Structure 1
Amino acid sequence: MPVDWVEVGKKWQEAWKQAGVWEAEPDGRPKFYLTVAYPYVSGPMHLGHARTYLIPDVIARYKRMKGFNVLFPMAYHFTGTPIVGVAKRVKNRDPQTISMLRGFGVKEEELKNFEDPMYFANYWARVSELGYRKGMELLGLSIDWRREFTTVDPHYKKFITWQYHKLWERGLIVRGKHPVKWCPSCRNPVTDHDLLEGEGVEILDFTLIKYRQGDLVFPAATLRPETIFGLTNLWLSPTARYVVALVDGEKWVVSEQAVEKLREQGKEVRVEAPYQPEFGSEVEVPLTGKRVPILPADFVDPNSCTGVVGSVPAHAPYDYVALKDLERDPIWGELAGRLTPISLIELPGYGEAPAVEVVKRMGIENQRDPKLEEATREVYREEFAKGRMRDWTGEYGGLPVSQAKVRVREDLLENGNGAVMYEFSSLPVICRCGSPCLVKVVEDQWFLNYADPKWKELALAAFSQMKLIPPETRAQYEFTVNWLREWPCTRKIGLGTPAPWTEGWIIESLSDSTIYMAYYTISHLLRQVEAEKLDDEVFDFIFQGRGEAEELGKRKGISPDLLEKMRREFEYWYPLDYRISAYELISNHLTFFVFHHSLLFPDRLPRGILSLGMVMLEGKKMSSSKGWLVTIPEAVKRYGPDGVRLYLLSGTEPWQDFNWREKEASSIIGHLNRFVSLVETSLSLPGEEETDIDRWLLSRFQKLVRKTEEAMENFETRRALQLSFFEAMREVERYLERGGSGKALREVVGDWLKLLSPFIPHLCEELWSKMGRGLLCQQKWPQPKDELLNQEVETMEDYLESVLEDAKEIAQVLGRKPKLVCLYVAAGWKKEVARKALQTADFKELMRTATEKGAPKEEAAAFIQKIQKEIREMKELGQVLHLSEEEYLRRNLEYLRRKLGAEVKVYSEEDPEKYDPIGRGAKALPLRPAIYLE
């Protein structure tokens, strides 16, 4: 009878809820506390989110079965501008946003409600069937829902206020001028959480080099000012619109798009007139005084910096390729052909012009070749690391490129031939409100001062004590700590906690989510207190043990017993054992999290971080706004909660990216049906006899238990699932095919369900219930029973399978199905020599053993030479050389005949009556029978 996967899921989710099995209270057991990044609720929960929350769920379930008291809580992130932005788009009836909501089942009469940011956020958090609470429940996550909160709850705002009072007291909140990602529509700084596109993009500090033509200045942006000595020409876009603008008293030629950027970076800009590029005209190069032409290039992006680009073809692959392309132009080809790359950097291992060399080596032929990016990275990386300025560059000659870059920039700025401009490392960068972002230098922004050297020391010391998974992320964390400077921590608009040290500002989303793990420990108890009563003294008592509960409680109107209980909860659960979040958050959230803990909880530092890879759908990143996703109800309807869990968890390890492919996912129900069939078979087999294959299964299963536990301890959830599900099924199927009586299978099936309970808990509970043993999730994790290990029986079973495979391979080579298969086991003297060869490599001693057993000398010598080459492979088999191969094969004749579909006869090589028409028997080796087919 087919399983109704959805109904099985609902049944056991309700059973767990009624039993309250996920509600964690302090007790005498060792604790394990893990958290995962709470979701930003700007749309429905999809499969990308599902894997993020399934991995900690598997770990939590495993740790409970290992005897730990586990806390796995959840909350919702409402803070910031994205939710406000999308609600605004609903109010403005933005077609894409309205279409998205309708596509997710929002009715016409409900749309008005979504203009309210709080309604919008709460809908996706708790109300919608496509939202996060319902999605997590559908997947069976083992969350303590009593601790649920949002980041705009009054109690949480009081907690964040306490945090920022502490930071203010330590002088770590500063005000100043700083370049930030800026949305000109929202009039707000933005961070990655606020973006539709451009997550992870950095702000780069460009040098503008002023090339002059009469009273006009052509400011070309570069990250490599030292290459000015190799300039051959300027590039302008032939299709972009340029203007002449008065910038700080100079007439600059820039793209139209650059005007607002320059203004937002503190420059006085007044547009005077449009500018039509005069290609072929010349400009003067500062520092060198030479004149170079202005030429057209399609690769110039008017949205990037000023839209003016300097050309250094010897050291910039894009410039070299653009110049070669232009040589084919009927108008500009002749002029371009006269421009020769100028080498200004000496680079070991490369010729005069590294860019030219790399372009030719990679076979790049035009400006549209994607390999140009790779070529550019190679040249820039190698020249910065190993290059030196050539002697002809004057005072810069002999300097490493890394030093020359700084010196040339300083000189250009000092003599008025340079300026500074900030730009993104890649474009576009789009705010969630839909507007393109730019870099703005803000004057009165509030920052968290991550540049503070003492704070950096605390953070690095904290990281040094932590377990980081995967280990290679340690270098990324340390780099981020050292790289971080001031971080804009406030916004003018959006949801969140008002900055307590000033009016009119709200703490932004990556700055109010650094220590909420501590808040979880008491969130369910704080509801018993009016938010107005929560101040710094209350949180000082709970988190730092300052004051006395009795006296504090009387003054604040809070039960002293409740205060004591909250203090005990915090002390029991903290420190956090593991933080789990996305790999891409290493450069901000995860590092911030450690910075803040190092300052506020120096004696209760987090113990570890697990970084997660991304989930893609058919090779593309999932996106609610673009409609490229699969919702949780949709996936569960197709595959059931355990089908979704099995597929998401079995593909890659947590820190690796995962690609959901519908074609692959559709096969998952077949695997689950196989599993159900095997378990039900185990419960129906009546046999009591213990045969070799029973002993084999018992032995193999103990190893699977041990290996699965090792994988789980390392958070290798994919490996654990591959072992406990797929490999275990293959072993059970082999057992049944070999005619196992059922005795061993009945012995292991209970532990098998325990191993799989963290991964496919609903189905395992259903099957466990047929054994009448209570809730499976509350059982102890199985322990391997060493007394059941039996390497001898495992080796002989492997031997039997290798004989089968050899026979099948020979049949395949012959190209016909055999009617008769003859197996010849090695002569007794060969086994004696093999056993001796495991102890010594002395040829004479091995010959003596052979001749004493009656072996012909020539045959013995040839055998010894062969066995000495192969003896390494036989070391595991040495322990079974004493067994009779002939007897073992005869005992399994029926199995061999069934698998080979032919008559099978077994002979000893020494049997004078054997059927051996072509003398194959003499080729037999110990544990490798000779085979004859006809």
Structure 2
Amino acid sequence: MSDAGYDHATVERRWQEAWDEADAYRTSDDVEEPTYVLGMYPYPSGKLHMGHVRNYTITDAYARYRRMTGDEVLHPMGWDAFGLPAENAAKERDTNPRDWTFDCIDTMRDQMDAMGFGYDWDREIATCTPEYYQWNQWLFSRFREEGLVERRDAEVNWCPHCETVLADEQVEGEAELCWRCDTPVEQRELEQWFLQITEYADELLEAIDDLEGWPNSVRQMQRNWIGRQYGTELEFDIDGHGSVEAFTTRVDTIHGATFFALAPDHPISEAVAEEDEDVRRFIDHEADPDGDEPNGVATGLTATNPVTGDEIPVYVADFVLSDVGTGALMAVPGHDDRDHAFAQKKDLEIVPVIAPEPDEGDEPEAPDVSEEAFTDDGVLINSGDYSGLDSETARERLTEDIDTAEEATQYQLRDWGISRQRYWGTPIPIVHCHDGCGAVSVPEEELPVELPEFINTTGNPLDAAEEWQETTCPECGGDATRETDTMDTFVDSSWYFLRYVSPDLEDAPFDRERTNDWMPVDQYVGGIEHAVMHLLYSRFFTKVLADHEELEHREPFTNLLAQGMVQLEGEKMSKSKGNVVSPQRIVEEYGADTARLFMMQAAQPERDFDWSEEGVRSTNAYLTRLKEMVEEYVAEEPDGDDDAVASYVAAEIDATIALASEEYDDLTFNRALREAQDLTRTLRQYADYTAPHAETYERGLSAVVRLLAPVTPHLAEELWDELGNDDLVVDAPWPTADIDADHVTKRRRLVENTREDIRDIVDVAGIEDPQAIDVVVAPDWKYDALEIAIESDAPNLIGELMQESHIREQGDAAADYGQDLQAEREALSMTLGPDEEYDALEAAAWLIEREFEAPVTVVRAADADESALKNAEPGRPAIEIED
């Protein structure tokens, strides 16, 4: 062991060779129903960046975890190998895109191996090979046979720098820039090939509700892209910040707007956060657009309702998305479910302004919106001059009457233009007959139509490939010219996950029977930037194949995780900013396991996080200490007693296994890893406090090693081997523990609160050398009172408590405690029972003794004096310290 840490290079090389020799990651074709774990395959640019490393560490960790739990796991990798960047690079270097692409693939594959990613490389695909792209062509022809392909003149987005057509989704921002090169996009009229995705618009939209394993933000983005929403854009004045534009489909409800909401990354939100710590904390740490409940924070600002003139409070809310609508909205809790839930949470006014249509001759009756919103159209009430109008008429009238309002249409789905005027892509399998047959599909037996040799020229090199273009018409045998457009590369990625199932199949794009057994992908991981294009197109392809190629699944991905970015000092890493951290340097200096562990423990996978060299060094130091602990245990063979301390440690081992396993299931790796690191700390404290019980201590080390194995596979193999195991840890069973997670959480909270209370007393009282510490458990009646307070909805809690004779007998003590419970009623939660609290504190007493170097006595209520019992409460025992 050196000062710089353990010899990670030797360790990683040894175990990578062992995995190769054991063929550890191969998935047999005979598996009946594997767990399919997949990261979005990369474009082979030549070097992995930190975004790649994070994405693929997530999938690798989850695949390894599922493998250790006993699943057969399919975890393949391939290359999104076509595309304009390779063509441009080839032109600049006077080479050809194929050689450039495969050189990049070789480099990136080596880097992936160095990171320890456990892929089944037997299933590797590259979309630029004829063996793959012939099936793009076959699928195009099948879509055409089913009436899902059309060629027509269209106004298209044209990038003059890339000299190619762009899909609507590839034009970014209000400035309408090319997503690849930031060149302003022009409009041109060209004849283009389209896939008619609009034929599936209804199903694509309606099926989103069934994608329960997808982030809410991604599902909402797809809804908004597919659906045509007619509504109104209008301005609200926010004090000190000018006018803010909001979009609403229900301007008829504007009289019921009781608050205004901004996205967390709205410019006004960011401006307020500069001055307001609560807003900054919410934006940075609490906002969760994928949470089960809407959440937000008050800004102190008000917005002026342009119709009523009312001032309504402005909130930053995580259910408002900057890339949906305008990132700002008027909130009408009486008539919107989400707004209603938020208003109830924040105790905001809920005003009904739409009533159900009354019977003829009757007055409209206000709906009861106290418990839920009334979301239907109806008749306006409480709306001034507009009262009595039906919703549709009111929307038209209000849009006309409000000075800043105008009709607006949100996102709509258009047919997918796949024509690209470039060389490095799949040739569209069409010939244009000179004798009147028109555009004719190339017969299946003549596929693939392979690309000719690359010609380094301006514009589309295929236009210069005259010999390649010349052919004959499949229908009449006359002269014909090949189509020179190639396909959008999103065609490649719309079905690649199916090809992994049978990558070498020669007579079909995928083995239908096996694909029906293995699909859909159980866990898919990739960037949020693919929420519309790739994911929507993949869903479209899957539905078409289900209708016409006997695929039994209509959705490709059961669960989706959209991982956050790796940043440096708050900014996305990019070459142009000069803030790129090289994964290769980190691997060489600290090792792949250090890079993987730091990245996975830094934040939840969905969140952005800042790269920190200090954090990397700290992570490496932790792994080094863990290795030392295992080596010391093996060398010293401790023979401590199986006593109360060992019992506490054993319970912590079980607790860690139970909680970490739940976190791995939920892909909250940072929490799982925190559990493993906390257990490591407990084991180290145990060994420092006394000679550990060998069986307990080894079980703890074994648990830590296996809990870390999905994220730090190389060192885990090394330590697993040092602990005397004959098998590979990648094949080892996941540790198990039969324990109630809720009980564990309560026990841990009790112990930590008690230690914190002791620290506070020692600090405030200035006690430098405690002589003895008594920890007094609360009397039974207080636990009963707490349970009643939690379960009761009676307005007079104290009165209800006093109905219980054993509580009433406590007199003033019961009244005082009842008042405390009444004051904190909304925040109360159940604790352990008195006997369980006593046992938990007794087992953890050694930790307190170790920290304060004083004997600790845990006292039951029956053995304590009255003065101590007065301060003892469930979950917060009384503390008495002898100075």
TM-score class, shorter-chain normalisation, is: 0.5 to 0.7
Distance 1:596 1:83 in 2: 26
Structure 1 residue 489: Cα displacement: 0.7
Are the equivalent residues in 2 in contact too, given 1:73–1:147 (CA < 8 A)? yes
2:171–2:185 Cα contact (<8 Å) kept: no
1:747 equivalent in alignment to 2:699? yes
Q: Secondary structure at the match of 2:125?
A: coil
1:601–1:581 CA distance, 2 compared to 1 (3 A): farther
* Correspondence for 1:164 among 126, 140, 146: 140
> Is the contact made by 1:480 and 1:587 (CA closer than 8 Å) also made in structure 2?
yes
Counterpart AA for 1:780: P
Tell me which residue corresponds to 2:880: 931
User: What SS does the aligned partner of 1:27 have?
Assistant: coil
Q: Does 1:520 find its partner at 2:500?
A: yes
Is residue 480–residue 591 contact of structure 1 (8 Å, CA) maintained in 2? no
SS of alignment partner, residue 666 of structure 1: helix
1:704 aligns with 2:656: yes
Q: Following TM superposition, by how much is the alpha carbon of 1:736 offset from its aligned partner in structure 2, in angstroms?
A: 4.1
Distance 1:825 1:492 in 2: 79
Structure 1: stretches of 5+ with no match in the other structure? 92-114, 193-198, 203-423, 527-533, 544-565, 852-859
CA distance in 2, matches of 1:807, 1:882: 17
Please state if 1:691 is matched with 2:438.
no
C-alpha spacing 1:867/1:767, structure 2 compared with 1 (3 Å): same
- Looking at structure 2, the residues matched to 161 and 882 of structure 1 have their Cα atoms a distance apart, in angstroms, of 68
2:175 alignment counterpart: 426
Q: Match of 2:193?
A: 446
Alignment-derived partner of residue 480 in structure 1: 225
Mapped to 2, the partners of 1:892 and 1:708 lie a distance apart of: 21
| Deviation of the 1:522 alpha carbon | 1.8
Distance 1:762 1:29, change over 3 A: farther
Aligned to 2:406: none
Task: Verify: 1:650 aligned to 2:601, yes or no.
Answer: yes
TM-score, length basis structure 2: 0.63
Q: What SS is found at the alignment partner of 1:469?
A: coil
| Counterpart for residue 35 of structure 1 | 38
d(CA) in 1 for partners of 2:133, 2:100: 20
**Aligned pair 1:612/2:560, yes or no?**
no
Distance 1:831 1:31 in 2: 54
The answer on whether the counterparts of 2:516 and 2:553 sit within 8 Å (CA) in structure 1 is: no
Deviations 1:327-348 (A, max 9, x none): xxxxxxxxxxxxxxxxxxxxxx
User: Which consecutive residues of structure 2, in runs of 5 or more, have no partner in the other structure?
Assistant: 228-411, 432-482, 789-797
Structure 1: which amino acid aligns with 2:709?
Answer: S
1:494 to 1:13, Cα distance in 2 relative to 1, 3 A: same
Distance 1:868 1:738 in 2: 42
Rg comparison, structure with higher value: 1
Q: Give the secondary-structure state (helix, strand or coil) at the position aligned to 1:758.
A: coil
- What is the aligned counterpart of 2:618 among 643, 664, 667? 667
Say yes or no: does 1:511 pair with 2:491: yes
1:616 CA displacement: 2.4
For residues 188-212 of structure 1, the C-alpha deviation after alignment (integer angstroms, 9 at most, x for no partner) is: 21469xxxxxx9644xxxxxxxxxx
2:530 corresponds to which residue? 585
Contact 1:686 1:743 (C-alpha < 8 Å) held by counterparts: no
Instruction: Provide the C-alpha distance between the structure 2 equivalents of 1:743 and 1:63, rounded to a whole number of angstroms.
Output: 27
C-alpha contact (below 8 Å) 1:172/1:449 kept by paired residues: yes
Structure 1 counterpart SS, 2:416: strand
Q: In structure 1, what is the Cα distance between the partners aligned to 2:653 and 2:833?
A: 23
Q: Give the aligned partner of residue 763 of structure 1.
A: 715
For 1:831, the equivalent position in structure 2 comes to 779
Query: 1:760, 1:803 → 2: CA distance?
Result: 34
Match of 1:153 among 125, 129, 133: 129
CA 1:667–1:83: 2 relative to 1, 3 Å: same
Work out the CA distance in 2 between the residues paired with 1:717 and 1:443: 49
The 1:903/1:767 distance shift into structure 2, 3 A limit, reads closer
Any residues of structure 2 matched to 1:323-722 within 5 Å, and which? 425-426=174-175, 429=178, 431-432=180-181, 436-452=183-199, 455-460=200-205, 462-482=207-227, 483-502=412-431, 503-523=483-503, 525-526=504-505, 538-539=507-508, 543=510, 569-602=514-547, 603-605=552-554, 606-608=556-558, 609-624=560-575, 628-681=579-632, 683=634, 684=636, 686-687=638-639, 689-722=641-674
Q: Does 1:880 align with 2:883?
A: no
Shift of 1:116: 2.5
2 CA distance for matches of 1:592 and 1:833?
62
User: 2:579 and 2:746 mapped to 1: Cα distance?
Assistant: 51
Aligned residues of 2:658 and 2:738 also touching (Cα < 8 A): no
Offset at residue 630 of structure 1 (A): 2.5
Report the AA paired with residue 925 of structure 1.
Answer: A
Q: Matches of 1:429 and 1:475 in 2, distance apart?
A: 24
Do residues 62 (structure 1) and 61 (structure 2) align? no
Cα distance, 1:869 vs. partner?
Answer: 4.9
Q: Distance in 1 between matches of 2:484 and 2:226?
A: 30
Alignment length (residue pairs): 619
**Aligned-pair Cα RMSD in Å:** 3.7
8 A contact 1:190–1:431 mirrored in 2: no
Counterpart in 1 of 2:260?
Answer: none
Give the whole-Å Cα distance in 2 for the aligned partners of 1:750 and 1:845: 53
Change (3 A) 1:509 1:640: same
Q: CA deviation at 1:490?
A: 1.9
Alignment of 1:58-137 (within 5 A): 58-91=61-94, 115-126=95-106, 131-137=107-113
- Judging changes above 3 Å, is the alpha-carbon distance between structure 1 residues 817 and 445 closer, same or farther for their aligned structure 2 residues? same
How much has 1:617 moved relative to structure 2? 3.1
User: Does the C-alpha gap of structure 1 residues 682 and 181 become closer, same or farther in structure 2, counting only changes over 3 Å?
Assistant: farther
- Per-residue CA deviation, residues 872-910 of structure 1 (Å, 9 max, x unaligned), is 97953434179599xx87x99886555325687999999
CA 1:832 to 1:705, structure 2 compared with 1: closer, same or farther past 3 Å? closer
Is 2:680–2:701's contact at 8 Å kept on the other side of the alignment?
Answer: no
C-alpha displacement at 1:868, in angstroms? 3.8
Identity %: 26
Distance in 2 between the 1:573 and 1:481 partners? 29
- Residue 155 of structure 2 contacts residue 188 of structure 2 at CA under 8 Å; is this kept in 1? yes
Alpha-carbon separation, structure 2, partners of 1:924 and 1:180: 75
- Spell out, residue by residue over 1:794-847, the C-alpha distance to the aligned partner (whole angstroms, 9 max, x if none): 988876665543333223223452454564858xxx836546656877777888
Write the distance in 1 (CA, Å) between the matches of 2:162 and 2:829. 73
Kept in 2, the 8 Å contact 1:654–1:716? The answer is: yes
Deviations for 1:251-302, whole angstroms, at most 9, x for unmatched residues? xxxxxxxxxxxxxxxxxxxxxxxxxxxxxxxxxxxxxxxxxxxxxxxxxxxx
SS in 2 for 1:648: helix
Bigger drift between 463-472 and 831-840 goes to 831-840
Partner Cα distance (1:749, 1:863) in 2: 47
Shift, 1:710, TM fit: 2.4
Do the aligned partners of 2:33 and 2:517 also contact (CA within 8 Å) in 1? Answer: no
Task: Return closer, same or farther for 1:869/1:759 CA change in 2, 3 Å cut-off.
Answer: farther
Q: Equivalent residue for 1:25?
A: 28
CA distance in 2, matches of 1:177, 1:90: 35
Deviation at 1:62? 1.6
Instruction: Sort the Cα spacing of 1:611 and 1:798 in 2 relative to 1 into closer, same or farther, 3 A.
Output: closer
What amino acid is the match of 2:78?
A: A
Contact preservation (8 Å) 1:696, 1:790: no
In structure 2, distance between residues paired with 1:879 and 1:903: 22
Conservation of the 8 A alpha-carbon contact between 1:700 and 1:789: no
Which residue of structure 1 aligns with residue 761 of structure 2? 810
Give the partner amino acid of 2:815: Q
Q: Contact (CA 8 Å) 2:39, 2:526: kept in 1 or not?
A: yes
Q: Report if aligned partners of 2:195, 2:418 keep a CA contact under 8 Å in 1.
A: yes
Gap change, CA 1:499 and 1:674, over 3 Å in 2: same
Task: Identify if the C-alpha distance between structure 1 residues 512 and 83 changes in structure 2 by more than 3 Å, giving closer, same or farther.
Answer: same
Q: Tell me, in whole angstroms, the C-alpha distance in 2 between the residues paired with 1:865 and 1:169.
A: 81
Matching residue's letter, 2:835: V
